[in-house]
Amino acid sequence: MKRILTILLTVFLSTAFCVSVVYAASLRNITSTLNGTAGDTFQLDGTLTVKSLKIGQQSIGGVTFFNGTIVNNTTNAAGTDNPVTFGDNVRIDGAIHRGTIAGTGDNQPVKINDDARIYGNLSLDGSLTIADNQTLTLGMSSVVNLTGATIQGLSSGDLSDGSHLTKNNSAATLSADWVNTAYPWSADEVADTTRTIPLSLSALYADADGTPTAITSLTTPSLNYTANRGLFLQYAEDDTVDFGGQIIVPDDYVSGGVFKAVVDTSGDIITDWNLDFKVAISETANTPAWATAMANETPVDIPDNPGTPDLITFTPVSQSDISAGDVIFFDIFPDSNTATGEPNLEIYSLWFEYTAAQ
């Protein structure tokens, strides 16, 4: 019995001693150990080296004063410097700057050597510079407000396909005449358009290259009428008489210049049906200098599509130097319509078409 009590006492004392040793190794009150009181400040004139350091208390925190620079003077296995590492979110209540002087202009900008993502708004009090050959990417719904800002060096060629600058879509009312003398529109900033000069069939004349006569229902070509189609000039098999007229090229002329016609046939073409034409242009605009001869151009085939109106184009090539104010004389005549049973050719409309300045 005495032996059992001795063993129990030994175990109890050993356990108590171990607990006291662990507690002593875990937490020591330096203030009381150094004969200080709560709130005292201890000064260390040398260097303090510790494996870890805990500052502040849970829910209370604390303030740490670093009157100098924090440096990690260790290296990894390859000999590369290890950076100072913060293993948690970082809150900085003051401004961030690099170098001894805060602010811009000291050639020591803050360096961020990684991609960065900002979850809030970015406000710049200075300039934004993007290096050469870099890309600024905005999302589909992004809005860039550049009120009062100036963008230098940006041209339409710098925008990718489909990109555009938003136009001001607000309504505006002019209260007086708009006079733009400082920055007027130049001619190349206004798109050209296509215009036509219609030619009345009844105003043309037969045998235009010989002894001109008015076109009637008895001449060749003859002037006819069909319900739902209107007036038309008709050529029959073996007809050869020409017809034509002249126009003045308008002052808004820029380029081009062709004659066009709407034609039809009374039946299927047997062998061939085409119209030949000649053109003469006055040699100098707005002067009485006339062309000395008419140039015979390339014949135009008539489509074999009876009962359906077709568009054909007469393009001057030999006489193509057209200018505003020129007088153009044209002459049209059948070229190949001699096969037996060739249908009638019907010309319903004729006009001159050109590119004009706005």
* Residues in the chain, pLDDT under 70: 1-26, 153-169, 185-189, 284-288
Confidence at residue 24, expressed as pLDDT on a 0 to 100 scale: 47
Q: Which domain range does residue 201 map to?
A: 193-356
Is 270 contained in some domain?
Answer: yes
Confidence at residue 350, expressed as pLDDT on a 0 to 100 scale: 97
Which of 224, 304, 239 is closest to 271 using CA atoms?
Answer: 304
Is 174 contained in some domain?
Answer: no
Is 7 contained in some domain?
Answer: no
Is 63 contained in some domain?
Answer: no
Is 127 contained in some domain?
Answer: no
Confidence at residue 308, expressed as pLDDT on a 0 to 100 scale: 95
Confidence at residue 11, expressed as pLDDT on a 0 to 100 scale: 45
Helices (H), the chain: 2-26, 30-33
* Nearest-10 Cα torsion for 80, 81, 84, 85: 10
Confidence at residue 12, expressed as pLDDT on a 0 to 100 scale: 47
Confidence at residue 297, expressed as pLDDT on a 0 to 100 scale: 93
CATH number at residue 228: 2.60.120.260
Q: How many domains is the chain built from?
A: 1
Is 100 contained in some domain?
Answer: no
User: DSSP assignment of 266-305, as one string?
Assistant: SS--SS--EEEEEEEE-SSTTSS---SSPEE---EEPPS-
Is 44 contained in some domain?
Answer: no
